[in-house]
Amino acid sequence: MIVRPHGGTGARSGSREGSTFCTVTEPMDDSPPGGDAARTRTGATGPTSSMPANKPLAGFTVGVTADRRSDDLIAALTRRGAEVLHAPTLRILTLDEDDQLLSATREVIAAEPDLTLVTTSYGFNGWLEAADAAGLGAAVHEVLDRSTVLVRGPKARGAVRAAGLSEAGSGVEETTASLVDLALQLGVADRTVLIQLHGYVDQDQLDRLTAAGARLLTVAPYRWSDPVDSRPVERLIEAVLTRQIDAVTFTSAPAAEALLRAAESTGQRDELVAALGSDVLPVVVGNVTAAPLRKVGLDPAHPDRFRLGALVRTVCDELADRVLRADSLLGPVELRGRLLLVGYRAVSLSPSGSAIMAALIRADGSVVAKDRLREVLPGGGDDHALEVAIARLRSTLDLPGLVATVVRRGYRLG
């Protein structure tokens, strides 16, 4: 994997150095969805034949806010040609940082819960490993074997069975609310109920259990905390605001909330929401993760199945729909994020260059006024800034006539 700063020749001076952008050069051994099929759906011709079918994200930049399993997600995106900006909005406290877990474990052993709710495979496995390390593993297993175990979804079920236990049921949906619904159906009044938390406390669900008469116990095998270094998140917010990024992925509701909170702390929340509602695509792993974004009026894309692989396919399909195409005197033109295809030639553009080309392609040969082009420049700019950006774009393209000047009016696609 090659890590390099965003931008390059022709990039605006406003872009920061040191952002963690990644790309890969090795070929991919599988053929992901969202490649040929997506191009067929949008009616591509001409330049798309120069794009490898297994690189549907070539030219696009995707933000990753995840901490846990971020390597898997980044690898899947970069294999498909994307550049990735990794900015974990939260971090997971490892077990050795949380001395409260063993105390809670001893309380569970003493209480012998009647009902146990398992929410995540990661958290359940982590809890059992911590109990084993403390010499409490056998006692925990014995207590759980006598308890009625309910699981939130397939992954939690797999973890329970791998531990040599069995579950009595699972929620209709893969949500904590659905899991609590099932527990309430079975009855919790005057019963000891253990719930394994997953990163943050969903107080509404805990309140439902206690209101129904449950004696509630909780174990938190991991907890969310603010990142040690806030600069990657700041760079992600800047990239979204200046449209240097095409999509941002979220794999947990707390991560989405944390990004909004970070933007609010710098007075940029409204701008962030506006960008995510227009030019930058928010993609979430499922409905629960989408909730904080929907509360601020956003409509994030999400897969039908709450899995990382499905999330990656959704990113591929959604960004394929954002590819811009037009005809020019030099042949078909296609803009994929910051990658411009002209005939069979591919040119990597700066953020300013891609913004200008996007406006010209959308106009489909009509003149785009200078005022409009100044508006689309990342960070804005005056006439001089526009002239410099046009000159750099033409130099990068080295295709005379593709960006044509219309005297006293503006520019158009040649």
Quick one: 86 and 101 in the same domain? no
Quick one: 391 and 406 in the same domain? yes
> How far is CA 260 from each of CA 55, 199, 263, 268, 272, rounded to the nearest angstrom?
31, 18, 5, 9, 8
What number of residues does the chain have?
414
Last residue of a domain, one of 289, 320, 351: 320
Quick one: 308 and 293 in the same domain? yes
d(CA 254, CA 203): 13
pLDDT score, position 34: 35
Task: Identify the domain containing residue 120 by its residue range.
Answer: 93-224
- How many Å is the maximal CA-CA distance in the chain? 83
Quick one: 311 and 352 in the same domain? no
CATH assignment of the domain containing 355: 1.10.10.10
CATH assignment of the domain containing 219: 3.40.50.10090
d(CA 399, CA 360): 15
- What are the DSSP calls for 338-387, one per residue? TEEEETTEEEE--HHHHHHHHHHHHHTTS-EEHHHHHHHSTT---HHHHH
Quick one: 125 and 197 in the same domain? yes
Quick one: 245 and 316 in the same domain? yes
- What are the DSSP calls for 83-115, one per residue? EEEE--SSEEEPGGG-THHHHHHHHHHHH--SE
d(CA 296, CA 311): 22
Quick one: 77 and 6 in the same domain? yes
- What are the DSSP calls for 40-56, one per residue? HHTT--GGGGGS-TT-T
Quick one: 332 and 381 in the same domain? yes
Last residue of a domain, one of 224, 244, 267: 224
Residue 301 gets which letter from DSSP? B
Tens of pLDDT along the chain (414 residues)? 222 223 333 332 333 333 333 332 222 233 333 333 232 223 333 434 456 667 999 999 999 999 877 999 999 999 999 999 999 999 877 555 567 888 899 999 999 999 999 998 888 988 998 888 889 999 999 999 999 999 998 889 999 999 999 999 998 887 888 999 999 999 999 999 999 987 666 788 999 999 999 999 999 887 778 888 999 999 999 999 989 999 999 998 889 999 999 999 999 999 999 999 999 999 999 887 898 999 999 999 999 887 888 999 999 999 999 999 999 989 899 999 999 999 888 999 998 999 999 999 999 899 999 999 998 888 777 889 999 999 999 999 999 999 999 998 999 998
Domain count, the chain: 3
Quick one: 216 and 71 in the same domain? no
CB 26 within 8 A of CB 365: no
Q: Is the pTM of this model over 0.85?
A: no
Quick one: 83 and 98 in the same domain? no
pLDDT score, position 298: 96
3-class SS at 201?
coil
Q: Walk across the sheet containing 345-348 and list its strands.
A: 324-328, 331-336, 339-342, 345-348
Contacts of 279 (CB under 8 A, 6+ apart): 243
Quick one: 103 and 215 in the same domain? yes
In sequence order, the β-bridge partners of residue 249 are 64, 283
Last residue of a domain, one of 268, 286, 320: 320
Quick one: 372 and 282 in the same domain? no
